[in-house]
């Protein structure tokens, strides 16, 4: 009979070493040759968040987008998130200037606004960001409707984020919203083509660009 305190499974317990080996594996297996240094840092952490090196081929960075996001965060830009999962995935300790993290899904005005607009709460929440969109880093990891709403907002106003991280996940509208972002390119952006994406990937991109250059 196994003793109660006996370890059944042996595994690596050094957190720093786990990170080191994980990033080394990503750099060995993924083709990162087309990325700038800032883009590579973001790409590696986005791959790490989902465990799929193959997404490297579908990551799209508009020219200077990663550098724009890094500079904006260093200057104290707000981070506007489409979901609590994105907001909660951002590591506050990595933020360079005590940056405000905004998710409007809990705003008491949101349900009525969504009904009035005949849209999802995630899309209506974009309207509540208002002037804060200007110069912000926007991270969309969950709702394609939020990304479409942001694109529509930019189409009718002069509000422009420093960077849009557009990686919503799903089977309805996700791929289409990201292609709309890539094709229209109204602001610097980072996108992941296709259905794949998610809150963890969006937060990982923010965390990568919020930290010191690696």
- Please identify every residue annotated as catalytic: 48
Phi, psi of 7 (to 5 degrees): -80, 125
Give SS3 for 99: coil
- Range 151-171 burial, b when 16+ CB lie within 10 A, else e: bebbeeeebebbbbbbbbbbe
What is the C-alpha separation between 45 and 51, in angstroms, rounded?
A: 10
**Which residues lie below 8 Å from residue 155, measured CB to CB, with a gap of 6+?**
184, 186
């Amino acid at each position: 009979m196994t003793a109660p305190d006996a370890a059944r499974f042996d595994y690596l317990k050094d957190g720093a070493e786990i990170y080191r080996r994980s990033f080394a594996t990503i750099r060995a297996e993924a083709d990162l040759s087309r990325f700038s240094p800032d883009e590579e840092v973001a790409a590696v952490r986005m791959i790490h968040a989902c465990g799929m090196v193959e997404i490297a081929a579908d990551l799209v960075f508009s020219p200077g987008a990663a550098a724009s996001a890094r500079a904006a965060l260093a200057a104290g830009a707000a981070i506007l998130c489409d979901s609590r999962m994105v907001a909660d995935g951002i590591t506050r300790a990595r933020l360079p200037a005590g940056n405000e993290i905004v998710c409007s899904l809990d705003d008491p005005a949101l349900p009525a606004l969504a009904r009035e607009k005949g849209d999802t709460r995630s899309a209506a929440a974009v309207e509540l960001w208002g002037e804060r969109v200007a110069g912000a880093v926007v991270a969309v990891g969950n709702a394609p409707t939020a990304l479409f709403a942001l694109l529509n907002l930019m189409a009718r106003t002069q509000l422009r984020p420093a960077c849009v991280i557009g990686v919503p996940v799903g089977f309805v509208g996700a791929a289409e919203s990201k292609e709309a972002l890539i094709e229209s390119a109204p602001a610097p952006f980072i996108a992941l083509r296709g259905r794949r994406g998610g809150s963890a990937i969006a937060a990982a991109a923010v965390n990568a660009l919020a930290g010191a250059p690696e």
